[in-house]
Amino acid sequence: MNAVVIKKGREASLLRHHPWVFSGAVARLVGKPKRGETVRIQAADGRTLAVGAYSPDSQIRVRLWDHDPQTAIDAAFFHHRLERAIAWRGRLPQLRDTNAWRIVNGESDGLPGVVVDRYADFAVCQFLSAGADLWREEIVAALRAQLPIKGVFERSDTDARRKEGLPPSMGPIWGVPPPELIDITEGPLRFQVDVQTGHKTGFYLDQRENRRLVAAYSPGAHVLNAFAYTGAFGLWALAGGAETVTHLEASADALTQADVHTALNGFDSAKVSLITADVFKQLRIYRDQGQRFDLVILDPPKFAAAAGQVSKAARGYKDINLLAFRLLRPGGTLFTFSCSGHVDGALFQKIVFDAALDAGCTVKILHDLGQAPDHPVALNFPESRYLKGFAVGIEG
């Protein structure tokens, strides 16, 4: 087997079971490994530390399959890892009243670069690394063997594949192609998900528990749901007894679906406003008009895709949170999130605090929020905690 030899003194993270080897830690190659091929990872003194998938084009040169160098990477390996991931979800009480959840969450489930989401009778896959792409057939076969699904659809159309030297790829892989919209349930609510062209794999499954929490703060509230997408947070606010919900979103198509969701769940459309606009600009308009809300939700897209973008992202987060604080009535509540992996929790908390300070608000953290448990955070892989959020209350 080909091997990647690590520079002297650079093996510490591997010994702590971190699953990545960066290009700067590589001393030399043994053999000529191809993209995605399994390689041994060796320390400078010749010890074999792990096995992983080689990626010649990526800054993450090797993604580890296993820290046991004797582990065979074959179809049985992927079957076992899928079996373990599915069994884990089967123990989660949060998934008992939904038919949509994450089955595989990449490195946190021991399958780097593999993401699998289930929507009713369909599995939607992303193969985002060289190793994941090489073993796609075995992964799909394991899914077919273990899940009662009608079809498997691929959504490997993210920028992550470009960094791995892979072209985008999407479309049906096996079975029946998914319908244009898949009906899913989340507690008492129904949603229709576009897995073919929607954001991510079609729906923000990672916000499930946070949406339920919004409902608890919604009785009698006038709610602003910014970056609304297809309206899931706002639907839960209505389910919790919100007086009005304003969905603010740049995509008219997404808001059309939010309107469908309102009717699908039997809510009064007179309580719902659909505003198609740039969120930053519209928040300023609301501020200048003197509009006020009892509850504001900020769930923006990723502002920092790379470490070099953190400063710019921080300014963006500061801007929208400052505006949100100025739109809240005394005693109001802000649910604010960042899905930028390069913006850690401590920095995001500082940004929200600075925004509150500039707005002249005294605020308290009511809840420290993160991703749903079917998107697990591995303790050996802190990068897997990508979603940060706070529910904060303004003193009256």
Residue burial 15-27, b: 16+ Cβ < 10 Å; e: rest: eeebbbbeeebbe
What six digits make up the tokens of 32?
């000529």
Cβ atoms of residues 20 and 63 within 8 Å? yes
367 CB burial (10 A radius; 0-12, 13-18, 19+)? middle
- What residue ranges in 55-188 does DSSP mark as E strands? 60-66, 100-105, 114-119, 122-127, 151-156, 169-175, 182-186
Q: Which residues are catalytically annotated?
A: 339
Residue carrying the six token digits 């691929």 = 154
Q: What is the DSSP letter of 200?
A: T
Which of helix, strand or coil describes residue 296?
strand
Judge whether 33 and 55 are in contact, CB under 8 Å: no
Q: What are phi and psi of 277, to 5 degrees?
A: -170, 165
Q: Nearest CA to 240 among 259, 225, 230, 251?
A: 225
Q: What angle do CA 213, 214, 218 make, to 5 degrees?
A: 125
Q: Which residues pair with 119 in a beta bridge?
A: 100, 122
